[in-house]
Structure 1
Amino acid sequence: MADQDEERDYAAALDTAERLLGMRLERFLQPGVGEPANGADFKRLATVHTFGDAWPRTDVLDTRTRALLSVTIAATLGTLEPLRGQLRIALNNGVTREEIVEAFIHIEAYAGAARAFEGDQVALQVFEEKAKDA
């Protein structure tokens, strides 16, 4: 029974990720060359926790607010590839490009110019990607 519950939770998390990102995650979850068997466990656990447990908690913080917070966190940490995904989620969920730039202004003040500029460069790429899709 637990296996069925785990599969259901994983499928629901993947559906939430698709709704937020506008794309399926499976292509990012494929095993890498030389990846040990428990790599799949890590990806499943991270996906379920992130998109099954954290993102759906909209009683206090709505999705739009969570998205802007996630952009800020990823940029501040300097995790640029995850930032790309967080920017997509933010733009898909009502955060404006102007609000994202304001977040970088605030990041610059508190986390430093280097982090803010790196994040802004990723944001410009995502803005361009979105403009081409429009």
Structure 2
Amino acid sequence: MTEHSADYRRALDRAEGILGFSLAPYVDPGPSEPANAYDFTRIATEHAFNDVWPRDEHLDLRTRALVSVTITASLGILEPLRGQLRIALRNGVTKEEIVEAFIQMAVYAGVARAFDSYAVAREVFAEQGGPDTA
């Protein structure tokens, strides 16, 4: 395993605080990957979690999480959407607010895309347990 730089360790620690679990097993390259795979995951992780997520002067973490849900849903990238939904719920976004984001999204990104994305949200809501409020 590659020795992590201080910046990368800080990004991984911040990611764990936002996600609630360690990101390292998902971003540390495996033995069959090329040597520069570490550079890719390190750069992307440091940028996301050292440069973007901590920016709170104009968007707080909760709002940034809801924006990320809407972006991934609009793009139709459903596995990353699953992660963004978990981040949003962990950081104070309500199920009702997520549903409202999908209602808004249906108008501008398309009903079919919103339905596909909402199917993922239903699964994540079920994982979270609690009253079925959405």
Deviating beyond 6 angstroms after TM superposition, the runs of 4 or more aligned structure 1 residues are: none
Classify 1:79/1:33 alpha carbon distance in 2 versus 1 (closer, same or farther; 3 Å).
Answer: farther
| Amino acid aligned to 1:121 | A
Show the counterpart of 2:97: 99
Alignment of 1:21-40 (within 5 A): 21-32=19-30, 34-40=32-38
RMSD: 1.7
1:26-63 CA-to-partner distances (Å, cap 9, x unmatched) read 11113257422111111110000001110000111100
Query: Quick one: distance in 2 between partners of 1:30 and 1:12?
Result: 15
Give the fraction of aligned pairs with identical amino acids, expressed as a percent: 60
1:18 aligns with 2:16: yes
> AA paired with 2:35?
A
Counterpart code for 2:22: R
Structure with more helix by fraction? 1
- Matched to 2:105, the amino acid is I
How far apart, in 1, do the equivalents of 2:80 and 2:44 lie? 13
Distance in 1 of aligned mates of 2:34 and 2:56: 35
What TM-score results when the alignment is normalised by the length of structure 1?
A: 0.89
Match of 1:124 in 2: 122
**TM-score (ref. length: structure 2):** 0.89
2:68 pairs with 1:89 = no
Query: In 2, Cα distance between the equivalents of 1:33 and 1:110?
Result: 43
Equivalent pairs, count = 128
Q: Which letter does structure 2 place at the counterpart of 1:94?
A: G
